[in-house]
Chains A and B, each alone.
Chain A
Amino acid sequence: CMLHVPTWLLGKPIFSVDIHPDGTKFATGGQGQDSGKVVIWSMAPVLKEEDEKNENIPKMLCQMDNHLACVNCVRWSNNGVYLASGGDDKLIMVWKRAAYIGPSTVFGSSSKLANVEQWRCVSILRSHSGDVMDVAWSPHDAWLASCSVDNTVVIWNAVKFPEILATLKGHSGLVKGLTWDPVGKYIASQADDRSLKVWRTMDWQLETSITKPFDECGGTTHVLRLSWSPDGHYLVSAHAMNNSGPTAQIIERDGWKTNMDFVGHRKAVTVVKFNPKIFKKKQKNGSSTKPSCPYCCCAVGSKDRSLSVWLTCLKRPLVVIHELFDKSIMDISWTLNGLGILVCSMDGSVAFLDFSQDELGDPLSEEEKSNIHQSTYGKSLAIMTEAQLSTTIIENPEMLKYQQRQQQQQMEQKNAAIREAAGTAMSAPKVASMVNGESLEDIRKNLLKKQVETRTADGRRRITPLCIAQLDTGDFSTAFFNSIPISGSLAGSMMSSQSNQQLMSLDSNATNSLGISKPSLEPLAASIKPTDDAVNKDGVNATSASAAPPVSSSSVLTTPSKIEPMKAFDSRFTERSKATSGTSAVINTNQTAIDRLKDQNLIKENKPKDILESSSDSEEKIPATKPLSLPKRKLELEAEIVEKKKKGRPRKDSRLVPVTLTVQSPAALASEKDATCISAPALALKLPTPIPQKSFTLQVSSDPSMYIEVENEMTTVGGSRLSRLKCNREGKEWETVLTSRILTAAGSCDVVSVACEKRTLSVFSACGRRLLPPIILHSPISALHCTVLNYAVMTANKHGSDTSVSQILLTQHGIPVMSLSDGKAYCFNPSLSTWNLVSDKQDSLAQCADYRNSLPSQEAMLCSGPLAIIQGRTSNSGRQAARLFSMPHLVQQETTLAYLENQIAAALMLQSSHEYRHWLLIYARYLVNEGFEYRLRELCKDLLGPVHYSAGSQWESTVVGLRKRELLKELLPVIGQNLRFQRLFTEYQEQLDILRDK
């Protein structure tokens, strides 16, 4: 066991510490200057002495002083995406990293305090009427619990903040600690009322209240952080008493028995924290005589300033570190690998302890742990999370190579960007980034020309600010972010420190497992931060002194002698103005004056109603045509309440006429490959046409395990209604969206086709990929049937159209394309003898699709070819608009997929190989980024074709002149970017290798 106290972490009281699940950073919460303070720190300098000494490695990543009062608790969600903090201001704040924003400084602070990472508050949870003492995420991150001195525990719906699922009432004293059962069945709370209560998550009712071990307790511990063992068997309380001695009470899950405790601390136990790992005895030289039981490890911190670490298989503590701090221990956090802990104290310091596997034992893998849960409790809530994916072992050296190359590229890009920005940032505040040929500066200028200024009723100027980014998504437009680049070396070293996650403590004072003396704290006092004032003043002096020579240069004070009188201004910077004019003056006026003003309807700030009226007045004056402020006017998502569909076996569709006519023309026979589609002959038969329904489900006759579900107009996005097609086959499910109501559907195990109200027929693969652009039917659909690879379409003939042809062109491959006056374009498909829709100006899919992240680079967007000519340039406005519809991510994904598939199919139809490849790559990237495995797999399978030659194969090795396997080779590096797909990557990599060797 090695101990390390980082000196740079000293400061005001630290009440809470928590290590991020990925192990690269940790958060502290406590008292700030005049507010509560949450700080996110880099873990590397704690782990490695050389990183600690390296001034280029930032120690602090981000600080947030948004809490009005002391922060009592900080906790990362299990997936590492969120940080929750609770404080004396009665609030819980939930933080999320804004990934699209680069490092930036806090405005006005010296550059050293730059926030390397941007964490912003995404939710503020208000419910408690007193200080929030502890917060805890449930094992599956679906719930967040908080407890408070208001005697309650609140369970928040973490999927839908700030929804409250339950308020647990029952404690009669300040609730000071919370812990979830690792399998999610219970939550336990400990309070000053000398009780520990266990609540059921099933109905949020009290399971048991344990009081006996706490009878003798006095209520003066600041926190009572209890903990549940990772195997779920034991719950260990904070401050309990046994024979007048402070203990940590062990409570057995089985019957809530209280027969054991951890004894030895001289003062109250403030915090207990179980190691997340379950251990088993280290096997020595293979001479394992009897298999030992798995055991848990627990750290106990106390007001007596010492820390003890226990193994549940030992009667005595493994380690006791006396007088680790000057004041009470407040919180403990284990690293995910279970070999290190951070301990924080009221004295404002944090200590890191490093254990070896020899000391603790061999940790069980997550799988083994999960098996223990499942064997003991059935299904466990602790499911495989994203965070655990990051610890996935890379099995394939090729995959590793791609990952490394990718990291390197990112680093190079970042460095290049930093170099570029650093070059320009020196000369002027201008930012050199270019967006579509426009510099950021130009964009700003243009925006500001459009600044809307109005007059309020009393003649005051009122500016409508330009909204440059929404907050909720954390997805900021990169065009506008306000970042200040950090130096290249700094970013580079940061990166290297992150990639190197080796855990090491280089503390030379390392001793054996027992009895560590107090580490020297002497030099710490010297490192007190200068106050803001001093820093700023120094800054002024430094700037003016160093920049003295160039006399006429801009933005510097030229004469050093003039600096001295500036001190006279100091108070002006920091003291609030005394009623200079306007509102504050109004507040200070006497009663009669106010009455008078009231009559005149002038005191805006004091009268809420007035200001509301006046503001709405002026809003009306805002011209409606202001494109860039559009995001503010969020379009309400007119989400219609979808009728609950009947579960269970869907009935067979009986609405269609049972008679079907299958007519095959010679043309269709010639192309038996994909599909056969014939319009109804000019028989004088009057066929019924199906009427659109809200939703329907049908079972595919050829494959009874396959259902097709249709939900028409399930959501409205950007003014157009989307209908959802869902297909379920043996538990595998896919979904897609269409812009027209679906009338009928049919499917087989290979294809699914649907006919829409707009007289289009769409064909999808077994995994939901669109195979063809919408085929235009001459007349409304009547019946649709589908066999293995053929399907018959029967349409009822009805003519009549009011649109005219606006343009006809012939591509270089001789494909006729017809553009109509309604903005739609069709091309003729000779193999099917049909017209297919290839472009629709009003297509809402195009407006909603958001695949920015999957674009290779800016210039690649400009892909020329017949499709681009027909569709015109894909406008940026469409992508920007995607943000303002505020649609659920799922819908966005579906629209994006549907759009990209349309594009691929259209490019294919137009035989535009260049564009086909372009859209295929974007599509693949999108599938990789969003994790759509089935579709990705199907795509790869199609591109690879049969590995072994077979005569009956209908697979063609090329598509629009491109070799499919070459395309697959291009896709593999893309697939390699997501570790999740490493199996897929390996599989296809190997098969390609086999093919190459042949």
Chain B
Amino acid sequence: MSRVSVLGVSVLENPSPFGRPLRFQVQFECGEALPRDLEWKIIYVGSAESEEYDQVLDSVLVGPVPAGRHMFVFEAEAPNPSLIPESDAVGVTVVLITCTYLGQEFIRVGYYVNNEYTDPELRENPPLKPDFSQLQRNILASNPRVTRFHINWDGPSDQMEDIENVDPEPEGVLSASCTSAKGPGTALGILPENSMDCM
């Protein structure tokens, strides 16, 4: 079972000028005390075209985490404009908040972000070279897209002990093992339609 469930994320100070820090208030619940810290990251997607332009705005450890409901504010500096392709500066992009435990990502919260000029003049005739100082960042806070992944909360312990056996993508293996052997397909297999044992 997922030991940590994110109850909500509030986007603070939204909308705000492009250069201002991003602030999220995260509320989560933890069923059992976690022996290790959670690692939270804010990733700004610079361009839809390639992950190359992703910027990890910040990563922070959160802990200790006893059982209960918790809350913290995650603040990160604004993305570095120089790393954003000029063609992608204005318009829609995405900001992601991810959380990992023992190196395994178990939740990803994504928001659409719209960057646009507040000045109607600039909006009509945007400058060729984007003027970030005039851009307003608007995070579509009402519509988070949340993806959850199954991870092993006890940690890939064996693999941790024995570093040689570390799987390049431990989470991939884990999620596969977590998927039930009793999907609809196999459920059929359990009950062969022409079972004769009791006829």
Interface residues of A (CB under 8 A from B): 12-13, 31, 34-36, 66-70, 88-89, 91, 93, 104, 107-109, 120-121, 124, 217-220, 222, 239, 241, 244, 246, 266-268, 303, 327-328, 346, 429, 444, 447-448, 451, 456, 460-472, 476, 480, 482, 536, 539-540, 543, 552, 554-558, 562-563, 565-566, 568-569, 572-574, 576-578, 580-584, 586-588, 591, 594, 605-606, 608, 611-612, 615, 619, 631-632
Contacts and interface: CB of A to CB of B under 8 A. Distances in A.
B69 A467 contact: yes
Contacts of B133: none
Contacts of B121: none
29 contacts: A34-B150, A69-B180, A104-B7, A108-B144, A108-B145, A120-B31, A218-B197, A239-B198, A444-B71, A451-B72, A464-B63, A465-B28, A465-B72, A466-B72, A468-B70, A471-B30, A482-B8, A482-B69, A536-B143, A555-B141, A557-B114, A569-B110, A574-B147, A580-B41, A582-B41, A584-B100, A584-B103, A586-B103, A587-B168
A82 B106 CA distance: 28
Top 9 A-B pairs ranked by shortest CB distance?
Answer: A108-B146, A218-B197, A568-B48, A465-B70, A66-B1, A268-B198, A246-B198, A469-B69, A573-B110
Contacts of A612: 35
A465 B197 contact: no
Given A34-B178, A465-B71, A606-B160, 14 more contacts: A88-B180, A462-B61, A462-B62, A465-B28, A465-B72, A468-B69, A471-B67, A539-B143, A566-B48, A573-B108, A577-B54, A577-B108, A581-B41, A588-B168
Given A327-B191, A328-B191, A582-B59, A555 B108 contact: no
Contacts of B66: 467, 632
Interface in B18-63: 25, 27-32, 35-37, 39, 41, 43, 45, 48-49, 51, 54, 56, 58-63
Contacts of B144: 107-108
Given A31-B187, A460-B60, A470 B1 contact: no
A536 B102 contact: no
Given A68-B1, A218-B197, A580-B41, A562 B114 contact: yes
B14 A31 contact: no
Contact of A577 (B98, B112, B178): B98
B166 interface: yes
Nearest to A93: B1
Contact of B43 (A217, A554, A577, A606): A577
Contact of A241 (B163, B184, B198): B198
A566 B112 contact: yes
Query: Which of B27, B56, B112, B143 neighbours the largest number of chain A CB atoms within 10 Å of its CB?
Result: B143
A678 B146 CA distance: 74
Nearest to B91: A562
Contact of A555 (B64, B74, B139, B170): B139
B181 interface: yes
Given A448-B25, A605-B36, A465 B65 contact: yes
Interface in B109-149: 109-110, 112, 114, 116, 118, 138-147, 149
Contacts of B168: 587-588
A88 B177 CA distance: 12
Contact of B146 (A107, A220, A558): A107
Interface of B: 1-2, 5-10, 14-15, 25, 27-32, 35-37, 39, 41, 43, 45, 48-49, 51, 54, 56, 58-74, 91-94, 96, 98, 100, 102-103, 105, 108-110, 112, 114, 116, 118, 138-147, 149-150, 160, 163-164, 166, 168, 170-171, 175, 178-184, 187, 190-192, 195, 197-199
A540 B150 contact: no
Contact of A108 (B14, B29, B58, B109): B109
B192 to A, nearest CB: 8
A445 to B, nearest CB: 10
Contacts of A93: 1
Contacts of B29: 471
Contact of A466 (B6, B70, B108, B199): B70
A760 B14 CA distance: 61
Contacts of B27: 468, 482
B180 A36 contact: yes
Contacts of B150: 34-35, 68
Contact of A121 (B1, B138, B160): B1
Contact of A218 (B116, B182, B198): B198
Given A69-B181, A448-B25, A463-B72, A578 B51 contact: yes
Contact of B142 (A268, A555, A632): A555
Nearest to A598: B163
A356 to B, nearest CB: 33
Given A444-B25, A615-B37, A429 B61 contact: no
B195 A540 contact: no
